């Protein structure tokens, strides 16, 4: 039972355009969501997060939108740059979880930004 | 300061052998997590340590897997009698362990290949 899903395994965009990465979840107890970026042979790097009490969080070129009723979040990257090419993971945590704030991850979306 | 470090970066072993993977969390971080990423998959939670409390082992896939954390800092993940399906990237993450500190910082991972 996949509680966090990223239905697009890959996405290709032109440099300068917007990249939109999507994530869906099923567990209504999730109250904190994060996006991580991963380059090959490296660990995931934290990008941006959002609490369930908000519907938008912005940090520079990165904006995360949360739609709780649809159990959907998205990451917008504007403008996209070739250096953004990586695998992006959506992750979620629930305060009730005994395992601290263990993260449940989606399967990842590979973003390719073409010059 | 220094980030999360893991060793070895790569490990090749024969089926049936035991392996030990090491994680040094960020200094002062009391919460430590182990995850693994199998080929083409998202990250899967394995085990969680918080300070001196008993670890949450709910994600360990079998009793061949164990982990310890000495002195509240360094952690070792041990896999006994390795199987080919244990081949994956094993990732360690840490957080300050404070309420509300939900962002996990990851190490570069150990790539385990079981022949």
Judge whether A16 and A80 are in contact, CB under 8 Å.
yes
Point out the residue among B56, B103, B108 whose CB comes nearest to the CB of A42: B108
Interchain CB distance below 8 Å, B42 and A98? no
Interface test with chain B among A103, A107, A109, by most B beta carbons within 10 Å: A103
Q: Could you give the CA distance from residue A105 to residue A111 in angstroms, rounded to a whole number?
A: 17
* Number of neighbours of residue B96 by Cβ within 10 angstroms: 15
The verdict on a CB contact (< 8 Å) between A46 and B108 is no
Beta bridge partners of B72: none
Q: What is the full per-residue pLDDT of chain A (115 aa) written as tens digits?
A: 789 999 999 999 999 999 999 999 999 999 999 999 999 889 999 999 999 999 999 999 999 999 999 999 999 999 999 999 999 999 999 876 555 678 999 999 999 999 9
Write the DSSP string, A15-48: TTS-EEEEEEE--TT--EEEEEEE-TTS--EEEE
Q: Would an 8 Å CB–CB cutoff place B106 in contact with chain A?
A: yes
CA nearest to A109 within chain B: B42
């Amino acid at each position: 039972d996949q509680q966090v899903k990223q239905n697009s395994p890959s996405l290709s965009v032109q440099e300068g355009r917007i990249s939109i990465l999507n994530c869906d979840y099923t567990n209504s107890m999730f109250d904190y969501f994060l996006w991580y970026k991963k380059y090959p042979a490296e660990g995931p790097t934290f990008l941006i997060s959002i609490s369930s009490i908000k519907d938008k969080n912005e940090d520079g070129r990165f904006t995360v939108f949360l739609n709780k009723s649809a159990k959907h979040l998205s990451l917008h990257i504007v403008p996209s740059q070739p250096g953004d090419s990586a695998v992006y993971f959506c992750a979620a945590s629930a305060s009730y979880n005994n395992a601290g704030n263990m993260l449940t991850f989606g399967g990842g979306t590979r973003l390719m930004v073409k010059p | 300061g220094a980030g999360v470090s893991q060793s070895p970066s790569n490990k090749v072993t024969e089926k049936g052998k035991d392996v030990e993977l090491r994680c040094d969390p960020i200094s002062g971080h009391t919460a430590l997590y182990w995850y693994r990423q199998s080929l083409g998959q998202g990250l899967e939670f394995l085990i969680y340590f918080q300070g001196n409390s008993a670890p949450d082992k709910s994600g360990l896939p079998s009793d061949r897997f164990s982990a310890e954390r000495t002195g509240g800092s360094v952690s070792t993940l041990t896999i006994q009698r390795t199987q080919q399906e244990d081949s994956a990237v094993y990732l360690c993450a840490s957080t300050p362990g404070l309420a509300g500190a939900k962002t996990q910082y990851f190490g570069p991972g150990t790539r385990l290949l079981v022949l």
